Structure 1
């Protein structure tokens, strides 16, 4: 067959060869037409130069995308008078050069009116980018209607590219009115041509049925094209099974079809591998998740590369390896795709955890350049704390405010941080209140709690306990990280009002949210600190819960547990809990531990250990410092006297 084609191309005249090449191209036999255009371009044929420019710009016929070479062909064709080359030079810069389009379009109209379908398509496509025409003979035209008219005319003449652009225009992203049903219609026609771009058409059909909410059609049409071996329809069939839309949910079938899509090894392979990785990850099978992320990364998908890096970072599905994590984050960033900013942010975080704040700052800046919101937030934190860059509260506020202005999931957090800077660093209570309010309005619970505190104290706003209660309750009702704190503050308000019932009601709610100070208070209540009958077992239980949080009161909880054991004459257990309290850096626990070693309470007396722990108490410079010094001096004197 190839010999026949070659002999045909040799025997054809230049015009016949051009007509044959254009006919093949128009009917979406783009790869087959390419050698003919190559031959014609070598002879300087202007229209062939136009087509060759488009081949290289779009990456057709298996060619790599090469815009520089593509525009070289367009320049050559333009010099030879090819109007379509002259028009396409308007697209050489990043932004369309409208002055070129306006100047050349009057030359394209006669070609389109004469029945040149390629010119009709180029005219329609160019018009979708304009709001009006400057030429006096054309300025009366409705540009959007003209764009649709010429694209439709070329599409009805069987030109695949006009069908594709017309369908894309009906998504509503150009000046043509949105009409997804018409987009479906033209993608169906393009798919039925069974040309080089059938896979693009069936990919678009799946997306269109999804956008229309017609999941039955999505499944039926995708199943039809999947049976013919097309990858994206296989992916859509898997989606339908996974989500139970258009077909009964079946996770095993979803996995089966995602695997089939992956095995096509085209553009769909990476996304299919990524979803499989996520599915296995959600099932808790991180080994399989890691394996699929690896396959997707090998297909060049940045999302899989980033997920692979996460696995190495967290040691999920593979041994933890921070160097490998860094390597894969770097590869993700180098793709400069949709997760490049996230990857840069993660690299910055790894450097930060390693104490390399300068590198952390540099990578957060790269993340910001890629539009990563987390990187903006972290960059603000570096400016706030002066890590990797000079401390600059104004810069910190600037970047936090940029995060807030995006009104994403971190907007409330960013607003709250701005409020804290105004409160703690710039002593501007009114601005602190304003930003806490902004954070609260974004639904951030800590901002609500801060707002409650400001109303409670009259800080930046007139004191109003009803408002304080309102905002603390709102924070609590979210049952997020700040719920326990908010409930504890409500308990404090009711305690101040001597409303004992509500005080303990909210203390218990706080404890149920995992707030350690509330747990400690309940323990103290059972320990005889309130009107309840003493119940040391209940007290012990709540102290242990408070200790288990390893928060600010863990050391105090350990001491109280130790004291209960002392009352039970269990000195060894008391020593054990004083030790735990000391590990929590609690000064009093250290002091009691030193005494245990000094007097041999629950442990063999050990003067050296007693000295060691008394010294640690002194170094804390707290309430026990003077007493610890006295014991320390006495012990050192004993050693000196032998």
Structure 2
């Protein structure tokens, strides 16, 4: 889970705040910042950190973040913490990063709370402290942040700082999964696959794995198709199709996902789907699988066209 929340600082600076820079010229920001306007000081730091309207300059970014942070602006404190953690324009200093994240987190800054939880979880700039990590991640998770929700799931599933609790793990994994967090989706699928906290349910597990594959690349879709093939249960470790109770479900989905990967140019997928079709599938299964593959392909296409 390294760099989980610290990616936020770069993402936040580069995207959420770029509209501020577009609305106000750098010259105007400079004027306001020099007059002591704390918001302008922070936004000017954002401009220098990302090269928005001005040449990128880590030292200038640090200067303006520091001025705004020392006046108590939570966004600036969070940005300054990210600068110290990543060592941009200054020597990397985990203790300073922790200090500024803490100040912003105590003001309710969700990303700072997540970053602070990360540092306590990994023992960076402070002794490792799962209880503190849990405290800060819970605050972030309750504000709807998927990564923090997923991290809580990991802590509850593995008993990190809290008694092992599969029900709580499932709850938090599900919340993160519903927001599209692929790691949470895989963890949730694994819990259904292995019957951890819930009755073993391979079809529910595969539903979550499908969501991951749709968000992934052709190799992910090929892997899912192979997973479906390997899920088929033949009696006595044989390959007697006539006694395979779940082959219809798994064959159809294996062929569909392999077909999608093949449509995207995956050569192994083409070979595997052909072998599956010729050796194990009925004509009705093939028709069903072809229709399903078109549905899946169209969903992926639509998602790619509307990111």
1:316 paired residue number: 124
2:228 paired residue number: 422
Which of 328, 331, 340 is the equivalent residue of 2:139? 331
Residue 111 (structure 2) pairs with residue 289 (structure 1): no
1:270 paired residue number: 74
| Distance in structure 1 (CA, Å) of the matches to 2:57 and 2:177 | 40
| Gap change, CA 1:295 and 1:318, over 3 Å in 2 | same
Kindly report which structure 2 residues correspond to 1:243-642, keeping only aligned pairs within 5 A, or say none: 243-265=50-72, 269-283=73-87, 284-334=92-142, 336-337=143-144, 339=145, 341-354=146-159, 356-368=165-177, 372-405=181-214, 407=215, 410=216, 415=221, 418-426=224-232, 428-429=250-251, 431-436=253-258, 438=260, 452=268, 455=271, 459-460=275-276
Q: What TM-score does the superposition give when structure 2 sets the normalisation length?
A: 0.65
| Distance in structure 2 (CA, Å) of the matches to 1:411 and 1:288 | 39
**Contact 2:258–2:269 (CA under 8 A) maintained in structure 1:** no
| Gap change, CA 1:297 and 1:413, over 3 Å in 2 | farther
| Gap change, CA 1:319 and 1:280, over 3 Å in 2 | same
| Distance in structure 2 (CA, Å) of the matches to 1:401 and 1:331 | 30
1:230 paired residue number: 37
Query: How far has the Cα of 1:322 moved from its partner?
Result: 1.5
Query: How far has the Cα of 1:389 moved from its partner?
Result: 1.0
Q: What TM-score does the superposition give when structure 1 sets the normalisation length?
A: 0.33
RMSD over equivalenced CA pairs, Å: 3.4
CA deviation profile, 1:365-411 (whole Å, cap 9, x unmatched):
23345664433332222212221111112212222334445x3xx56
Task: Report SS of the residue matched to 1:292.
Answer: helix
| Gap change, CA 1:343 and 1:206, over 3 Å in 2 | closer
| Gap change, CA 1:235 and 1:460, over 3 Å in 2 | farther
Structure 2 residues not aligned, in runs of 5+? 1-15, 233-246, 280-307
**Contact 1:313–1:322 (CA under 8 A) maintained in structure 2:** yes
Count of residues in Structure 1 that have an aligned counterpart in Structure 2: 240
Q: Which structure is higher in RCO with an 8 Å CA cutoff and minimum separation 6?
A: 2
| Distance in structure 2 (CA, Å) of the matches to 1:346 and 1:441 | 36
Kindly report which structure 2 residues correspond to 1:51-62, keeping only aligned pairs within 5 A, or say none: none
| Gap change, CA 1:258 and 1:424, over 3 Å in 2 | same
Query: How far has the Cα of 1:305 moved from its partner?
Result: 0.6
Task: Report SS of the residue matched to 1:248.
Answer: coil
| Distance in structure 2 (CA, Å) of the matches to 1:205 and 1:422 | 44
**Contact 1:241–1:249 (CA under 8 A) maintained in structure 2:** yes
